[in-house]
């Protein structure tokens, strides 16, 4: 190659690459509105985005996996945590996490109520952007595999399953096995907040011994819900989390549970029965 | 030093050194916060130390680029700079911009847009500085009438850097679209036009240090530039994974970013080849260390470690983890920090009094401590990142719990970071140890000398 050919190569490849890149940029603009649900970018969402920038969130957290790596990714956070939870969390993170235990803590940001609401609206818009199916598996803030019991972990290793705690089930499996499968795979994931290990509370209380507690509760005088037995109580807790609040300030505010109240719609009746059957085994 | 005006480079280098030192203070602070708990949670939280750490990096590296350019252009064009005064005005404006930006960050005055946190007034000052700079360089070359290829590549890189900064000045309503254009600035700087700048400096240093044939070196410089842009422009696609853009960016990103190391391999072969052919005759062996070191460390940090997580089916798992920090630290240090340190080491003996040409033993300690420290830091991020990917992304352990399990790697990070900082401290000490010198030490080039091959 002589000097002139080298020069032609340099200019030629730059020009070709730049032209292709610009062409694809134009096409991307054509597709942005649909991929990002641009019609949902309301003034509130825009304000929420400004809040995100104003408080420098991206220099600890990631969004779409971009940012700093010091705090959890928030791309799909609104699918893991209900709005009530996120509001209470933003008011004072130290109510939810212990710096001595996790060795880091989000400083209180002193956001106004309006800023909090709009920020959550923005994060919810982010969660619904079509981002090529990422993350391939939910990224949890706390809990997950370490809250499974030893036997469950062993089972995972034996079956070679790469999916956390999800054992292969078929429709004629035991109803409780089907229920555990629902527990692991429902969206938003139950495991994102609840562990099955005694005392290992996440964003929701540990469900170890929930059946025993339910039995004591439905007979008690301070029970506010409608259920008459353990199964009924569990069903009620899944479909209407705020019917009875028994666990104190970390899990609810203003008489509303932080647990999403969408399971009545997102799960089929069969799935709810399976889940109830599974939870009823947790004596 | 052949031209008196080259001495402005000294002050640019001096500012770069101070900011480099400051960058490490905030880097070390950030690293200790990974271990936690953080006693400074409400005074200097992580987001503040991190934003200052990355911004100081950009500012000092650019300061170094500017200083090195003011050093190199008179040498290449064989003339004094067009205006020394403008160069100083630019430096003062630029430094004020950098310092006030950092002070602002302490009070959360910034845009909160990753790497482009500078508030609008600061961004405008950046543009003004860039324009002064390009005008000064352009006029110098124009007046001399001598324009070499090496210089051409460097200047084109600098002009494109300024042009690519413009998308960063605009406001975007859609977060995905703002990500899309943020990478026009950041990626096309780092993996496009800055590579050109680096290539320009590398060619200059290799021609001077090894006495390699200019004709041959400049031909290969073209080939490298071609490869950088062929892969680099479409390689932007690897920043478009998972952010809400059309699907076709995935395979494009995979393919073209796999090509990106080609240019870097080319650069390393180029440096090595020049040394092999022409020997290591130049007395400034320390500058040679930095020059070859930069080419090789770039191959490791930008080439190999970039390739390690650039394929979409791998990046799907590693995206947004400490794996990115691993690649970022090694790549930036090898490609940009080291090339600036190479230019400084090359220029310093004639910019100061009483310094030996070969470099002092403190200079070599600085080199090896930095190299070892950065290698260790890269490995710390790598091991932490691998742990994080397996525990958090593949096993499904919660983020906070997974971070607790990889604490030991953060200890390693701090130890290696301390080694690295010691090396940088020695470099800075060595820099300021001798008085600056502002008089011409070598005779100006005459046409006769060019003809008999005494200068390159």
Q: What pLDDT sits at residue A179? A: 86
Tokens of B401: 């719990």
Range of the domain at A83: 38-127
Residues in A touching B42 (Cβ below 8 Å): 107
The owner of tokens 């340099």 is: A10
Q: Which of A17, A119, A141, A164 to probe by mutation at the B interface, max B CB count within 10 Å? A: A17
pLDDT > 80? residue A146? no
Are A97 and A168 members of one domain? no
Residue B450: closest CA among B148, B165, B104, B159: B148
- Chain A, 77-136: which have a CB under 8 Å from a chain B CB? 97, 99-100, 102-105, 107, 122, 125-126, 129-132, 134-136
Q: Which of A47, A66, A109, A155 to probe by mutation at the B interface, max B CB count within 10 Å? A: A66
Q: Interior CA angle at B68 toward B363 and B85, to 5°?
A: 125
Are A274 and A156 members of one domain? yes
What is the third-level CATH fold of B201-438?
Cytochrome C Oxidase; Chain A (1.20.210)
Q: Which of B45, B244, B387, B409 to probe by mutation at the A interface, max A CB count within 10 Å? A: B244
Residue B96 CA: distances (Å) to CA of A166, B137, B138, B258: 57, 21, 24, 40
CB within 8 Å: A6 and B222: yes
Are A78 and A203 members of one domain? no
Q: What pLDDT sits at residue A151? A: 45
Are A80 and A151 members of one domain? no
Among the three residues A127, A161, A179, which one is the final residue of a domain in this structure?
A127
Contact of A7 with chain B, judged by CB distance below 8 Å, is answered with yes
What value does the CA radius of gyration of chain A take, rounded to a whole number of Å?
24
Q: What pLDDT sits at residue A167? A: 52
Using CB atoms within 10 A of its CB, is residue A200 exposed (0-12), middle (13-18) or buried (19+)? middle
Contact of A145 with chain B, judged by CB distance below 8 Å, is answered with yes
Are A148 and A123 members of one domain? no
Residues in B touching A71 (Cβ below 8 Å): 46, 399
Q: Is residue A187 part of a domain?
A: yes
Higher pLDDT, B265 or A199: B265
Among the three residues A99, A127, A155, which one is the final residue of a domain in this structure?
A127
Q: Lowest-pLDDT range, A29-43, A70-84, B70-84, B96-110?
A: A70-84
CB within 8 Å: A59 and B48: yes
- Assign residue A79 the CATH number of its domain: 1.10.760.10
CB atoms within 10 A of CB A57: 22
Q: Interior CA angle at A134 toward B177 and B48, to 5°?
A: 60
Higher pLDDT, B257 or A149: B257
CB within 8 Å: B226 and A10: yes
Tokens of A14: 């730059």
Are A246 and A152 members of one domain? yes
At B446, is the secondary structure helix, strand, or coil?
coil
Work out the average pLDDT over A44-58: 96
The DSSP symbol for B238 reads: G
Residues in A touching B51 (Cβ below 8 Å): 56, 59
Winning range, highest mean pLDDT, from A102-116, A254-268, B207-221: A102-116
For A155-197, how does the pLDDT look when each residue is reduced to its tens digit (9 = 90+)?
A: 444 443 334 444 567 777 788 878 888 887 787 888 888 887 7
**Residues 6 or more apart from B271 whose CB is under 8 A from it?**
B202, B206, B291, B292, B295, B296
State which H helix or E strand residue A62 sits in: strand A62-63
Q: What pLDDT sits at residue B175? A: 96
d(CA A243, CA A265): 17
Contact of A271 with chain B, judged by CB distance below 8 Å, is answered with no
Backbone φ and ψ for B352, nearest 5 degrees, come out as: -130, 160
With CA atoms as reference, the chain B residue closest to A143 would be: B398
CB within 8 Å: A68 and B319: no
Strand ranges (E), B322-380: none
HEC assignment per residue over A163-186: CCCCCCCCCCCCHHHHHHHHHHHC
Q: Lowest-pLDDT range, A74-83, A115-124, A189-198?
A: A189-198
Q: What pLDDT sits at residue B446? A: 62
Residues in B touching A1 (Cβ below 8 Å): 219, 223
> pTM of this prediction?
0.85
Contact of A138 with chain B, judged by CB distance below 8 Å, is answered with yes
Q: What pLDDT sits at residue A168? A: 63
Q: What pLDDT sits at residue B375? A: 98
Q: Which of A10, A137, A140 sits opposite B222 (nearest CB)?
A: A10
Number of domains in chain A: 2
Tokens of A223: 């029970």
Work out the average pLDDT over A141-150: 58
With CA atoms as reference, the chain A residue closest to B48 would be: A59
At B385, is the secondary structure helix, strand, or coil?
helix
Higher pLDDT, A63 or B217: A63
Residue B380: closest CA among B423, B416, B343, B434: B416
Work out the average pLDDT over A263-276: 91
Are A155 and A226 members of one domain? yes
Q: Is residue A132 part of a domain?
A: no
Q: Which of A11, A25, A141 sits opposite B399 (nearest CB)?
A: A141
Q: What pLDDT sits at residue A145? A: 57
Are A167 and A94 members of one domain? no
pLDDT tens per residue, chain B (456 residues)? 889 999 999 999 999 999 999 999 999 999 999 998 999 999 999 999 999 999 999 999 999 999 999 999 999 999 999 999 999 999 999 999 999 999 999 998 999 999 999 999 999 999 999 999 999 999 999 999 989 999 999 999 999 999 999 999 999 999 999 999 999 999 999 989 999 999 999 999 988 888 888 888 888 899 999 999 999 999 999 999 999 999 999 999 999 999 989 888 988 888 888 888 877 678 899 999 999 999 999 999 999 999 999 999 999 999 999 999 999 999 999 999 999 999 999 999 999 998 998 889 999 999 999 999 999 999 999 999 999 999 999 888 889 989 999 999 999 999 999 999 999 999 999 999 999 988 887 777 765 555 455 455
Residues in B touching A35 (Cβ below 8 Å): 176, 244-246
Residues in B touching A38 (Cβ below 8 Å): 174
Q: Is residue A250 part of a domain?
A: yes
pLDDT > 90? residue A255? no
pLDDT > 70? residue A93? yes
Tokens of A77: 């956070």
The DSSP symbol for B319 reads: T
Are A62 and A166 members of one domain? no
**Residues 6 or more apart from B332 whose CB is under 8 A from it?**
B57, B61, B190, B301
Q: What pLDDT sits at residue A166? A: 45
State which H helix or E strand residue B159 sits in: helix B149-164
CB within 8 Å: A59 and B46: yes
Cβ atoms of B2 and B74 closer than 8 Å = yes
Cβ atoms of B353 and B9 closer than 8 Å = no
Cβ atoms of B154 and B201 closer than 8 Å = yes
Residue/partner pairs of B308-317 with CB below 8 Å, 24 or more apart: B310/B238, B310/B253, B310/B254, B310/B257, B310/B258, B310/B260, B311/B254, B311/B258, B312/B241, B312/B250, B312/B251, B312/B253, B312/B254, B315/B238, B315/B241, B316/A134, B316/A135, B316/A136, B316/B241, B316/B242, B317/A136, B317/B389, B317/B393, B317/B394
Q: Lowest-pLDDT range, A28-42, A250-264, B210-224, B441-455?
A: B441-455
Q: Which of A18, A57, A139 sits opposite B399 (nearest CB)?
A: A139
Backbone φ and ψ for B362, nearest 5 degrees, come out as: -60, -40
């Amino acid at each position: 190659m002589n000097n002139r050919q080298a020069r032609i190569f340099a200019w030629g490849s730059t020009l070709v690459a730049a032209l292709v890149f610009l062409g694809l940029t134009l096409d991307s603009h054509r597709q942005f509105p649909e991929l990002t649900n641009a019609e949902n970018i309301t003034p509130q969402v825009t304000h929420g985005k400004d809040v995100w920038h104003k408080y420098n969130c991206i220099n600890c957290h990631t969004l779409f996996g971009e940012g700093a790596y010091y705090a959890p990714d928030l791309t799909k956070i609104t699918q893991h945590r209900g709005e009530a939870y996120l509001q209470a969390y933003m008011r004072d993170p130290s109510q939810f996490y212990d710096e001595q235990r996790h060795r880091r803590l989000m400083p209180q940001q002193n956001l106004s109520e309006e800023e909090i609401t709009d920020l959550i609206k923005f994060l919810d818009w982010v969660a619904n952007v079509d981002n090529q199916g990422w993350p391939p598996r939910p990224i949890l803030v706390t809990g997950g595999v370490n809250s499974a019991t030893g036997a469950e972990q062993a089972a995972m290793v034996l079956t070679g399953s790469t999916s956390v705690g999800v054992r292969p089930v078929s429709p004629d499996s035991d109803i409780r096995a089907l229920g555990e499968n629902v527990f692991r795979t429902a969206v938003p994931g139950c495991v994102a907040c609840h562990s099955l290990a005694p005392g290992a509370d996440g964003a929701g209380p540990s469900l170890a011994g929930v059946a025993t507690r339910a039995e004591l509760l439905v007979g008690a005088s301070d029970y506010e819900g409608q259920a008459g037995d353990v199964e009924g109580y569990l069903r009620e807790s899944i479909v209407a989390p705020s019917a009875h609040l028994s666990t104190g300030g970390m899990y609810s505010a203003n008489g509303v549970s932080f647990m999403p109240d969408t399971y009545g719609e997102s799960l089929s009746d069969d799935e709810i029965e399976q889940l109830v059957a599974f939870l009823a085994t947790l004596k | 030093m052949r031209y008196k005006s080259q001495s402005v480079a000294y002050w640019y280098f001096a500012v770069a050194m101070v900011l480099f030192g400051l960058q490490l203070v905030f880097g070390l602070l950030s690293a200790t916060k990974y271990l936690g708990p953080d006693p400074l949670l409400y005074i200097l939280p992580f987001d503040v130390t991190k934003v200052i750490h990355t911004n100081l990096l950009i500012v000092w590296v650019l300061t170094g680029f500017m200083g090195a350019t003011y050093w190199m252009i008179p040498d290449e064009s064989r003339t004094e700079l067009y205006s020394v005064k403008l160069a100083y005005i630019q430096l003062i404006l630029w430094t004020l911009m950098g310092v006030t930006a950092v002070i602002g960050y302490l009070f959360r005055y910034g845009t909160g847009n990753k790497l482009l946190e500078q508030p609008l007034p600061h961004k405008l000052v950046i543009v003004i500085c860039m324009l002064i700079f390009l005008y000064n360089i352009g006029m110098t070359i124009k007046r001399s009438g001598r324009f070499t290829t090496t210089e051409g590549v460097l200047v084109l890189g600098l002009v494109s850097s300024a042009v690519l900064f413009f998308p960063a000045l605009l406001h975007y309503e859609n977060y995905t679209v703002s990500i899309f254009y943020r990478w026009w600035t950041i990626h096309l700087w780092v993996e496009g036009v800055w590579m050109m700048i680096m290539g320009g400096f590398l060619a200059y240093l290799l021609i001077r240090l090894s006495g390699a044939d200019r004709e041959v070196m400049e031909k290969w410089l073209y080939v490298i530039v071609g490869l950088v842009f062929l892969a680099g422009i479409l390689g932007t696609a690897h920043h478009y994974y998972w952010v809400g853009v059309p699907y076709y960016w995935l395979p494009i990103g995979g393919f073209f970013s796999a090509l990106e190391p080609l240019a870097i391999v080319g650069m390393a072969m180029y440096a090595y080849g020049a040394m092999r052919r022409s020997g290591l005759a130049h007395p400034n062996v320390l500058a040679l260390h930095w020059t070859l070191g930069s080419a090789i460390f770039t191959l490791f940090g930008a080439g190999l470690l970039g390739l390690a997580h650039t394929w979409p089916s791998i990046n799907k798992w590693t995206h947004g983890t400490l794996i990115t920090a691993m690649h970022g630290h090694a790549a930036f240090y090898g490609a940009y920090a080291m090339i600036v340190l190479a230019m400084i080491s090359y220029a310093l003996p004639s910019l100061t009094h009483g310094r030996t040409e070969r470099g002092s033993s403190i200079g070599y300690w600085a080199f090896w401590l930095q190299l070892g420290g950065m290698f260790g830091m890269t490995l710390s991020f790598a091991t932490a990142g691998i742990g994080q990917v397996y525990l958090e992304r593949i096993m499904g352990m919660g983020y906070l719990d997974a971070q607790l399990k990889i604490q030991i790697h953060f200890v390693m990070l701090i130890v290696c970071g301390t080694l690295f900082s010691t090396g940088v401290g020695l470099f800075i000490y060595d820099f300021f140890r001798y008085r600056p010198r502002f008089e011409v030490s070598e005779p100006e080039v005459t046409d006769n000398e060019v003809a008999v091959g005494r200068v390159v």
